C-alpha cells in the first residue's frame, strides 16, 4: 500500500495536538518526534487520548507488519543491555533501523539507559537509526503488553525494520513478549545449573534460541556443560509447528564474540519460517491470542467490578467457608443475579 | 451437627423418585442405593435432576467434610489399580470406610473394575466398607470435576471417611484432582527417566508424595536412581505453605511391600496440617477456587455463546487477519456491542 501523502508534512509544535491524519503521515515519514508523541498518547490514561491513539494505530496498520520482532529475555545480571548493544551494532551494519522496546518496569532500558545517568546502551542511543523507548508504566501486565504491542505497530510504520523487545526473565512478562515476537531468544550464563528452573517455568519451551552469554567470564568446562544441559532440556519438547529446531550457542557480548553467528541463526529462522509460511501463521495466531485475551479480561472485569456482584461474592465466600452452601450452588446464585440484571 | 431424623427411613423403590429429605436422611444413614441414585442425579443432564441434586448436596453439606481426600495419579501402566487395591486393604484394617472415585473417562476404574469383566479391584469391590464409582462421563473436564466434587460430599455424608480419587497422569485432570484433595500422591516407575517431564508439566510441584511403584519389577540401581532424581527435582520448589516436605519412597503394590509406610506418610501429613491448621485452609482455598473457576467459565461461556458475538468475532478475526484493524480495536468493538446489548 502507498504511504498517505495527501497531508502536508508539518513540524510538531509544543502544546499543539496534531490531527490524526497529520500523525499518520508524519509517522509513516519516519518523523521521530511524531512517533514519540503518538506513543505517549498510547500510554496515556486519558480516554480522549486513547481514542486518538486507536485511530492513529488503525491508520498506521497498513504500513506496519514489515519488520522482524525479536524478544530477548534473561534474569537480571545476564547481560541483556550489553547483548542488545552488541547485537544492535551488528544489525546496523546491514543498514537496518532498530527500535528497542521493553515490557517490564524493572527493565534495564528503564533503569540503565533512559532514566539512569550512566547509560548502558550509550553508543546505540546516539545512532540516528536507533529508537529506544522505555517500558510503559503500569502495574497491570496486560495493559503494559497492549501498549507495547501498539507501539510496535507505530515503530514499524515509521520504518523500523528490526524491533528488539527486552524483558526480564521473572514473572509472566516472558509469555507476554513471546506472544508478540517472531523470534524468542533466552539469554543465560554458564555455571548456574538452573536449566531445570527454565523447564519448570516454561521458558525453555518458548525459546527459539538459548544463548550462554559472558563466556569471557566463565570456564570452558562450565560453558560446555551449560550448552549440553540446555540441548538436553530442549529434547523434552516435541518438534515445533514451525519445524524450527531451537539452537543453543554461546557468546561474549562484551567482546563482540559470536554475535554474528547469533544473527545468522535468526536469519536462518526467518528464511525457514517465511518459506514454510509459519512466519505469518504465527503473527495471525498472536493477533487472535490478543483479541481473545483482551475479550476474556474485559468480560471478567465487567463481572467482578459490578458492585452487586462484589457484595454477593463476599457473602458467597462466607457461606462456603461456613459450610452453608457448596461453591457450585453459590456460583449458580451469583450467575443468575448477574445475568438477570443485564 | 446432628443427623436429620425427622424423616422415616424408607426403602428405595425402582421407578419412584424419593423426596429431597428422604434422600438426605437415607444418605446420611449410609444407605448405598440412595447414595448411588443421588450420584446419578448429579451426573444427569436433565435440569430438573440438577435442581434436586443441588438441594440434596446442600442438605448433606453439614455432614460432609469429615474425611481425608487422597488424589492418586500416574500414567497408564504405573499400576494405579493395584496400588489402590493394596492401599485400600491396608486402610480397611483401621476400620475405615473407603470411597474410590475417578475423574477421567479413561480411568482404570472405568475400564478395568466396573465395566470390564476382569475386575482389577476385585477384592475391594466385594468389601461392604468400600464404595467404588466410575468416572462421570463428559468431554468437558470442568463438568466432570464438578460432578466428582459433589459426589465427594455425598460419600462423606454417607460415612465414607477416606476418599481415594484416581486420575490418569495425562492432560489437565491432575490439576482438577489436586484442587479437590487433601493429599496428592504421584505414582511412578523406575527406569523411565522422565522426572523432567514431571517438572515440565507441573505435576512434581503438586505432589505431596512421589511413590516409585513396581519395585518387584525394577533393578535396585534403577529404583535408587529414580528416588534420588525425584528428590533432586523436589528441591526446585520453595517450601510449601503447609510446611510439608514432600516425600519420595518406593513400593511394590503387587507384593504389598511398603504400603504401610506410605499410609504412615499420609498420616504424618494429616497430623502436621491439622496441627498447623493448613488442612482446613487448603479446603477453604479449594472452595474459593471452584467458586471462582465456575464463575469465570460461565461468564465467558455466556459471552462466546451469544449469537451476535459469535458472528462479530468471526468478522473481527477476518479483519485482523487482513490487517484492517488491530486486535485491541476489534476487542473494543465486540465489548461495546456485548455490553450495550445487555
Whole-complex ipTM? 0.85
Give the Cα-Cα-Cα angle B140, B146, B149 (nearest 5 degrees).
140
Find the residue in B nearest to A303 (Cα): B299
pLDDT in tens, chain A (342 residues): 555 555 555 677 777 789 999 999 999 999 999 999 999 999 998 989 989 999 999 999 999 988 999 999 998 889 998 999 999 999 999 889 999 998 865 555 544 444 443 356 778 888 999 999 987 777 677 788 889 999 999 999 999 999 999 987 666 788 889 999 999 999 999 988 777 778 888 889 999 999 999 999 999 999 999 999 999 989 888 899 999 999 999 999 999 999 999 999 999 999 999 999 999 999 999 999 999 999 999 999 999 999 999 999 999 999 999 988 899 999 999 999 999 855
DSSP A256-279: TBSHHHHHHHHHHHHHHHHHSSHH
Q: How many CB atoms lie within 10 A of CB A95?
A: 8
* Residues whose CB falls within 8 Å of the CB of residue A277, separated by 6 or more in sequence, listed in order: none
Are A206 and A175 spatial neighbours (Cβ–Cβ below 8 Å)?
A: yes
**What are phi and psi for residue A74, nearest 5 degrees?**
170, 150
Grid coordinates 461474592 are at which residue? A313
Strand partners, B163: B69, B99
Give the burial class of A238: count Cβ atoms within 10 A of its Cβ; 0-12 exposed, 13-18 middle, 19 or more buried.
exposed
Residue A105 burial class via C-beta count within 10 angstroms: exposed 0-12, middle 13-18, buried 19 and up: middle
A303 contacts B295? CB cut-off 8 A: yes
End-to-end CA distance of chain B: 44
Q: Which of A121, A97, A117 shows the shortest CA–CA distance to A109?
A: A121
Mean pLDDT of B235-241: 90
State the DSSP string of A31-70: -HHHHHHHHHHHH---HHHHHHHHHHHHHHGGG-S-SEEE
What's the pTM?
0.84
**Torsion sign over Cα A146, A151, A157, A161:** negative
pLDDT of residue A112: 40
Order of all β-strands in the sheet with A183-189 = A130-132, A98-102, A162-168, A68-74, A183-189, A209-213, A247-250
Cα angle A285-A145-A288, degrees, rounded to a multiple of 5: 20
Note whether B327 contacts A303, CB cutoff 8 Å.
no
- Distance (Å, rounded) from C-alpha A83 to C-alpha A253? 5
SS3 state of residue B275: helix
Report the candidate in B82, B139, B137, B136 with the shortest Cα–Cα distance to residue B112: B82
- pLDDT single digits (tens) B242-298: 999 999 999 999 999 999 999 999 999 999 999 999 999 999 999 999 999 999 999
Residues 206-235 (B) with a CB less than 8 A from some CB of A: 233
* DSSP run (H or E) holding A153: helix A141-157
CA distance B259 to A221: 44
Backbone angles phi, psi at B341, to 5 degrees: -55, -45
| Measured CA angle at A98 (ends A106, A138), to 5 deg | 25
Whose CA is closest to B11, among B38, B41, B34? B34
The nearest alpha carbon in chain A to B297 belongs to: A300
> Is B27 buried (19+), middle (13-18) or exposed (0-12) by CB count in 10 A?
buried
Can you list the alpha helix ranges (DSSP code H) found in A158-212?
Answer: 173-178, 195-200, 203-206
Q: Do A326 and B58 touch (CB under 8 A)?
A: yes
CB atoms within 10 A of CB A190: 22
Phi, psi of A51 (to 5 degrees): -65, -45
Distance separating alpha carbons of residues A1 and A44, to the nearest angstrom:
29
Q: Does B54 touch chain A (CB under 8 A)?
A: yes
Helix (H) or strand (E) holding B143: helix B141-157
A73 strand-pairing partners: A167, A186
CA distance B9 to B16: 15
Burial class (CB in 10 A: 0-12, 13-18, 19+), B262: buried
Residue of B nearest to A292 (CA): B331
Q: Does B294 touch chain A (CB under 8 A)?
A: yes
Length, in residues, of chain A: 342
> In chain A, which residues have their Cβ closer than 8 Å to the Cβ of B329?
54, 57-58
Quote the pLDDT of residue A111. 45
Residues 72-111, chain B, touching A (beta carbon < 8 A): none
Q: Which residues contact A99 (CB under 8 A, 6 or more apart)?
A: A130, A131, A132, A133, A152, A155, A160, A162, A163, A164
CB atoms B58 and A325 under 8 Å? yes
Confidence of residue B139 (pLDDT cuts 50, 70, 90): low
Instruction: Write the pLDDT tens digit of every residue in B37-75.
Output: 999 999 998 989 989 999 999 999 999 988 999 999 998
Instruction: Report chain A's terminal Cα–Cα distance, integer Å.
Output: 44
B150 touches chain A (CB under 8 A): yes
Amino acid at each position: 500500500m502507498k504511504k498517505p501523502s495527501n497531508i502536508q508534512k508539518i513540524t510538531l509544535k509544543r502544546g499543539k495536538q496534531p490531527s490524526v491524519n497529520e500523525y499518520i503521515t508524519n509517522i509513516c515519514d519516519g518523523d521521530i518526534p511524531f512517533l514519540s508523541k503518538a506513543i505517549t498518547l498510547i500510554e496515556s490514561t486519558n480516554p480522549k487520548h486513547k481514542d486518538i491513539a486507536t485511530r492513529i494505530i488503525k491508520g498506521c496498520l497498513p504500513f506496519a507488519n514489515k519488520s522482524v520482532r525479536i524478544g530477548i529475555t534473561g534474569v537480571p545480571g545476564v547481560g541483556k543491555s550489553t547483548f542488545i548493544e552488541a547485537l544492535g551494532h551488528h544489525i546496523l551494519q546491514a543498514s537496518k533501523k532498530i527500535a528497542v522496546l521493553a515490557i517490564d518496569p524493572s527493565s534495564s532500558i528503564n533503569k540503565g539507559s533512559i532514566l539512569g545517568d550512566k547509560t548502558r546502551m550509550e553508543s546505540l542511543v546516539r545512532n540516528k537509526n536507533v529508537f529506544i523507548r522505555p517500558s510503559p508504566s503500569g502495574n497491570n501486565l496486560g495493559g503494559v503488553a497492549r501498549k507495547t504491542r501498539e507501539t510496535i505497530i507505530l515503530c514499524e510504520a515509521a520504518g523500523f525494520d528490526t524491533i528488539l523487545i527486552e524483558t526480564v526473565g521473572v514473572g509472566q512478562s516472558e509469555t507476554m513478549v513471546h506472544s508478540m515476537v517472531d523470534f524468542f531468544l533466552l539469554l543465560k550464563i554458564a555455571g548456574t545449573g538452573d536449566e531445570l528452573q527454565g523447564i519448570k517455568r516454561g521458558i525453555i519451551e518458548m525459546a527459539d534460541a538459548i544463548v550462554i552469554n559472558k563466556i569471557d567470564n566463565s570456564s570452558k568446562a562450565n560453558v560446555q556443560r551449560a550448552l549440553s544441559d540446555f540441548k538436553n532440556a530442549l529434547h523434552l519438547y516435541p518438534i515445533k509447528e514451525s519445524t524450527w529446531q531451537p539452537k543453543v550457542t554461546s557468546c561474549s557480548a562484551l567482546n563482540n564474540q559470536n554475535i554474528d553467528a547469533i544473527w545468522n541463526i535468526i536469519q536462518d529462522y526467518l528464511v525457514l519460517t517465511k518459506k514454510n509460511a509459519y512466519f505469518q501463521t504465527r503473527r495471525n495466531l498472536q493477533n487472535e491470542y490478543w483479541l481473545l485475551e483482551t475479550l476474556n479480561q474485559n468480560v471478567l472485569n465487567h463481572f467482578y467490578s459490578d458492585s452487586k456482584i462484589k457484595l454477593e461474592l463476599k457473602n458467597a465466600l462466607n457461606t462456603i467457608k461456613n459450610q452453608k452452601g457448596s461453591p457450585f450452588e453459590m456460583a449458580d446464585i451469583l450467575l443468575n443475579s448477574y445475568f438477570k440484571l443485564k
